[in-house]
Chain A
């Protein structure tokens, strides 16, 4: 190869790598990572665009379960009554929510200048599985450039996630920048409206428009129970509790979240959200026991409060569930009141 060609090829490759790196940093810094091509579940991009000044009182972070069960509007309603002043709660939930996803979401949107005084964190047994069924996707969606070395170490040491997933922060920019320009994939008016005016979440309770919206949604989702019973439950144990072990990136990031919150003087309330008895029956008992013991111990050691609301009373109350692991608007309001009491104590 001639030197001229050699230099030219190297310069083209170098320029391309530099462009990817710069675009990757741009996507990270402007929160464009939160643009998603599917409608799910919070408009995190819309939330990330709101002003930084005056961080929220409470941040809620988790998966779809928290998206339904802990609407910021319900918490603010209750906190307002308990504290005698208005509060601002903001939710940030993302699809494929392993504990890895939850930590990085909290790190990006609820730390530093945006750090709320109280962080409500969803815990679930499947989210801590070292062999989480969507770990590769979770890494691809959420890892920042700075997470790449840790990801490769896990890929080489534990075999999960796949090493190719770890490279995604370098190639996310072209897709997400394209989402930014091509709106129909990412623009969902009702989610943006919830993010702007009600802190996100599925339901709101502030006015008649909200209550009508909640009713409409629950009615529209009437078939959801049967659908989820037939599509999710049969494969639940084999898919979500495969080789169940607490560890790997999910457990490391759960601990990192609690440690960071302690450094930032945030109060963390870890909530084990209820699932219906049909769902609970599909969770292997040994896996659930291991999860329960681990979360109890780690939250206590790292200075967080643990609320176990997956009680037999909640599990038995079919009327409060939209489907076997998501609450409806009445269930969400009732559950939020239980969490609100603990949050109010932390905000006093």
Chain B
């Protein structure tokens, strides 16, 4: 069946594309999700199928990086505070048990 009726595209994207002449070679279903020669407007381009997630992704990325930076800073502070206490005041944490999961 040549092409997809404009109404189906309109249902998927919420927009009604400008009707264009239907080319006989338009694949159905659309292969690779792309518009073919002469089929522009028959299918929504991939960019419109993808959700608009950039702002949410950026916030999530910043949150992850923030958590990592905070974790690293805490580790570093803890290690250096313990080192200073030991070197300057001779304070050493109690030895934990010498359990081991060493592999070889």
Contact = CB atoms under 8 A, between A and B. Distances in A.
User: Are A and B a genuine interacting pair, yes or no?
Assistant: yes
Nearest to B94: A209
Nearest to B79: A49
Given A193-B93, A220-B99, A1 B83 contact: no
Contacts of B71: 180-181
Closest 5 CB pairs of A and B: A49-B79, A217-B98, A39-B101, A189-B96, A209-B95
Interface residues of B, number: 34
Interface of A: 1-2, 4-5, 8-9, 19, 30, 32, 38-41, 45-46, 49-51, 64, 95, 177, 180-181, 188-190, 193, 196-197, 202, 209-210, 212-214, 216-217, 220-221, 232
A132 to B, nearest CB: 14
Contacts of B103: 38, 40, 95
Interface in B27-47: 32, 34-35, 40, 45-47
Given A40-B101, A64-B102, 19 more contacts: A5-B47, A38-B103, A40-B102, A41-B102, A45-B75, A49-B79, A50-B83, A51-B80, A51-B83, A64-B104, A177-B68, A180-B72, A190-B98, A193-B93, A193-B96, A196-B79, A196-B93, A213-B98, A216-B98
Nearest to A183: B71
26 contacts: A2-B45, A4-B47, A9-B46, A38-B101, A38-B103, A40-B103, A45-B75, A46-B79, A49-B76, A49-B80, A50-B79, A50-B83, A51-B80, A95-B104, A188-B101, A189-B96, A190-B97, A190-B100, A193-B93, A193-B95, A197-B86, A197-B93, A213-B95, A213-B98, A216-B98, A221-B100
Nearest to B67: A181
A196 B98 contact: no
Contacts of B95: 190, 193, 209-210, 212-213
Contacts of A202: 100
